[in-house]
Every structure is written in C-alpha cells, then in structure tokens.
Amino acid sequence: MKTLFIAVTLSLVSHSSMADISAIDAAANTMNINELKQISEQSVDYEHAYAEYRTAITANIVGQRGVSKRALDEAQSTLESILTREDDAESMALLASVYGMQISADPSKGQTLGMKSGVLLERAEQLNPNNPRIALVKAMSAFYTPSEYGGGMEKAKQFASVAIERYQNPCDDICWGHSEAYTWRGLAQQELGNQQGAEQDWQQAIDIDPNYSWANFLLNPPTSAQQY
C-alpha cells in the first residue's frame, strides 16, 4: 500500500510538472509576459526557473531589457540553488542555456560563464546521456560560437540533429524543446545556404506545435504592410 501511495504521488508530481511546463510554453508562444510572471510566482525550483528563462527571452524580443535581465538573474539564482542540493541534469542544461543568454547580454562574461556552461553540459551528459535538451543547448551554443573556438554552423546542425533524434524517446515529465530543436537546425541550415532544408525544418517544428510562434514567424515573415 505504501509503495502504491509513493507511485501515485510521483505520478501526480510528474503530471503537475508537465502541466506547468506546457503552460509556460503556451504563454511564451503568445509573448504574454504577465502570464509568465504569474506562472513564475506560483512555481518553485525548476519550473520557476524555466518560467523566468522564458520571460527573459520574451522580454528581450519585445525590447524590455530590464525585465529580461532580472528574469535571467532569477533563473540563474534558482538553478544554482537547486544544484547545491542535488545533481540534476535538467537543471544543468537549463543553467548552461541561461549562462549563454547572460553572455549574449554581456560579452565580458564570456570567458567565465562559457567555461561554466561547458562543464555543466559535460556533467549533465554524464548523468543523462540521452537527454535531448543537453544536445539542444549545445546546438544553441555552437550557433553563436565561431568555428575556431569549437562552434560553427555544422556543429550547430549536428547537435540539433542529435537532439531531434533523442526527442523520439518517450517523455512524461520535462519535455520542452522539440520544436525548438528543428528551428535551430533550420537556422543553421539557412546559414549554410540550404534554404529549402531550413524551411522543411521550420515546417516540422510547426507540425509538432502549430502554435510555435518562432517557427511560424521564420516560415511566414510579415510583410512591411503587416508590420504597421
């Protein structure tokens, strides 16, 4: 009976986590910063950090740099706190991505946070070698890192392809990033001169999540008349 209770409890925690992540993704797709803030305030630990991460990305897109910085700092603080308590591959991967955004906002942090990010991803892969988000964050990092420093578009494409393959595995807890992996691979393909391949990847992203706004924007950019 005790075992059954524990199993049911773990199942409820898993489904609660998945619901939180889905709600965060839905709010991010509509660039609803207020809703992201509400979810963040109602969440703890990883879900709280993920909501702040998505808030930072959304705020950056709409030009709210102060909001973006505060959200990134909060995500970083939360994830670092988690990792003082436990070795968690998901938190390591997300923190590595947060560090990447911190570097983009302030390149002077590149040397310090870049090394920390690399160590985190190595540790995360040792803990969970089939985790798709680890490969996704590697793809994102490679996209912005020159080839002479170990990055480049071919590496970004390669890591995104690994992520896409890993996303085929069943997932019932933290599952974000599938559409994103196709989108990043499409961006790498575009940079490599393969526009058709890029558009195919962006369409795949939309097939997975029809509401995924980034891939929709890339595949159907607004005309000048639509922007005003």
Residue 8: inside a domain: no
Cα–Cα distance, 220 to 228 (Å, whole number): 16
Domain count for the chain, please give it.
1
- By residue range, what is the domain housing residue 149? 132-215
Cα–Cα distance, 214 to 184 (Å, whole number): 10
Residue 125: inside a domain: no
Residue 62: inside a domain: no
Q: Is the pTM of this model over 0.85?
A: yes
Residue 170: inside a domain: yes
CATH number at residue 177: 1.25.40
Residue 20: inside a domain: no
Residue 205: inside a domain: yes
Residue 70: inside a domain: no
Q: Looking at residue 64, what is its pLDDT? A: 95
Cα–Cα distance, 63 to 76 (Å, whole number): 20
Q: What is the pLDDT of residues 177-201, one digit of tens each?
A: 999 999 999 999 999 999 999 999 9
Q: Which of 214, 187, 216 is nearest to 203 (CA)?
A: 216
Average pLDDT rounded to a whole number, residues 7-26: 57
Q: What is the pLDDT of residues 18-45, one digit of tens each?
A: 558 999 999 999 999 999 999 999 999 9
Residue 190: inside a domain: yes
Dihedral angle over CA of 215, 218, 222, 223, nearest 10? -160
- Two tokens at 172? 């019932």
